[in-house]
Amino acid sequence: MTNNPCAAWTKGDPLVLKYHDTRWGKVCHDERELFAMLCLEGMQAGLSWATIVKKEEAMREAYDGFNPEILAGYSEDDVRRLMGTDGIVKNERKIRSVIGNAKAYLKFMESGEYKSFDEYIWHFTGGVQIVHHFKILNELPSSDSLSTMISNDLKSRGFSFVGPVIIYSYLQAIGVYDDHLDSCPCKNNQIYS
């Protein structure tokens, strides 16, 4: 799909192209993956997505697969370990955010307000993927009213690095939004988990 105008943002990087073709915009209902992608999107703030894709495997390993039960128990020793781990994003605020978000996630799950994070995130659209119909990449917004609403709700629940721009990107990543261009062969392309 190298001639795909939707994939122009991959800049020909094979890892990013694979991400575009196999994961981006695909509906995700896997609890662990929904939390992991929230962490990865937060890590991306101020960086390119290509940077995150290249570091994703190392970050998943360094962060115990983004298992919130393990992350919530991380100590200052773990923060220091992560700051010294090669191949990951070494930003102390982002590292502490992942740990804090794991704690917020567990508190949220313990509240019983929703039976799962999947139910929570998808309730905003009634469980239905929103398929946008953009013709060129420049039409894609960086945020919208839904990402702002979810951002505010997550912040009120103690999550950090969840601003409207990060959440818009998150909604794309987990398939709440299908923002593939109408001319993209990946448009309306099923579920990956």
What are the residue numbers of the active site?
19, 41, 49
Q: How far does Cα 8 stand from its chain's mean position? A: 20
C-alpha 109/C-alpha 10 separation (Å) is 35
Residues near 96 by beta carbon (within 8 Å), at least 6 away in sequence: 79
What residue spans of 23-75 are helical by DSSP H?
Answer: 31-44, 49-62, 68-71
How many residues can be counted in the chain? Answer: 193
C-alpha 118/C-alpha 134 separation (Å) is 26
* Element spanning 177, H or E: strand 177-178
Q: Give me the half-sphere count of Cα atoms (radius 13 Å) on the Cβ side of residue 87.
A: 11
